[in-house]
Structure formats: structure tokens, C-alpha cells
């Protein structure tokens, strides 16, 4: 929890959605709202490189919702690895051809009844029978957790 909400460990992710269950349930849609931005900012990829908000910009708000004396009843964070890192992982695995099919690597982090569960997933932009991207992402994420000294148990 401390590494997710209090440190920059997961700042290489974008937020797709969040749900935090306290006395009330807070739901956050990570998609950027076009109506908020002027047209110049919205169209300029150097000013708005992603369609989703960066985790690092929303993390303090989520932390403020959760902090306090009472543990949340539950939460769910759906994080998407930044696209340039998704491409890099596929390239390092020698699977450049999968970039045409993979639109993102995701992590679902759920807290419920005292347990944290992390599930990895792959978002595909088109149909393919090749599911090796899932294996590549699973291995990369295990290396990520190990490198950040986050304890975990693998479940199949």
C-alpha cells in the first residue's frame, strides 16, 4: 500500500479507473476530459501525450481519500503501462510484431477483506491467436515487483 500510494514506484503507469470504498464509494475515470482543455492543448501531443491521466498526478488524491484511521472497505485500481514502455518490453522480448496487436499492458490492483490481489492483463487492439504477450507481460511485471522489493505470491 505504501509503495502504491505513498511512493513513485507505480508512476510509470496511467490510470484507467479507480474505485475506493470508504464511507462512500469514490469512482475515478482516468480518461482525460476534452472539454477541460483548450483545442490547442488537446491536439498537441507534447502537451497531452496520453488519453489517460498519469498515475503520479492522481496518486496524491487517492492517498488523501484512503488515509486515516480506518482501513478502506475496498479499492480497485486499473493501471495501464505507458505505451512507450509497452513497446519497449515487446522489443526486448524480440516480439516487435506483437506491437500491431497489443494496445496495452494492464495491472488490476484490488483490496478486499484484508487481502491485496494483483492481476495482470493485456489489452489487444485486434484479434490474434498469439497469446505470448501475456506471458511476456507477466514475466516483466514479476521482474518489476522483485526489483522494487514488493513481496508477492504467484497464483496460477
> Consecutive sets of 10 residues in the chain, 156 residues long: mean pLDDT of each?
90 97 95 90 88 96 90 95 95 89 95 92 89 93 94 81
Q: Evaluate the CA torsion angle 137, 143, 144, 149 in order and state its sign.
A: positive
> What is the reported pLDDT for 149?
92
What is the pLDDT, as a whole number, of residue 1? 80
Of residues 62, 83, 81, 73, the one with CA closest to residue 7: 62
Amino acid at each position: 500500500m505504501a509503495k502504491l500510494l505513498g511512493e513513485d514506484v507505480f508512476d510509470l503507469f496511467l490510470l484507467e479507473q479507480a474505485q475506493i470504498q470508504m464511507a462512500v464509494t469514490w469512482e475515478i475515470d482516468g480518461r482525460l476530459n476534452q472539454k477541460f482543455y483548450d483545442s490547442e492543448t488537446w491536439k498537441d501531443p507534447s502537451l497531452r501525450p496520453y488519453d489517460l491521466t498519469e498515475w503520479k498526478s492522481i496518486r496524491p488524491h487517492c492517498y488523501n481519500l484512503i488515509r486515516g484511521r480506518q482501513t478502506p472497505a475496498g479499492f480497485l485500481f486499473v493501471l495501464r503501462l505507458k505505451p512507450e514502455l509497452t513497446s519497449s518490453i515487446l522489443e526486448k522480448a524480440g516480439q516487435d510484431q506483437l506491437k500491431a496487436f497489443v494496445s496495452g499492458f494492464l495491472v488490476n490492483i484490488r483490496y478486499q477483506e484484508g487481502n491485496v490481489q494483483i492481476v495482470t492483463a493485456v489489452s489487444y487492439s485486434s484479434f490474434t491467436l498469439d497469446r505470448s504477450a501475456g506471458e511476456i507481460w507477466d514475466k516483466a511485471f514479476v521482474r518489476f515487483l522483485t526489483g522494487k522489493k514488493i513481496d508477492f505470491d504467484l497464483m496460477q
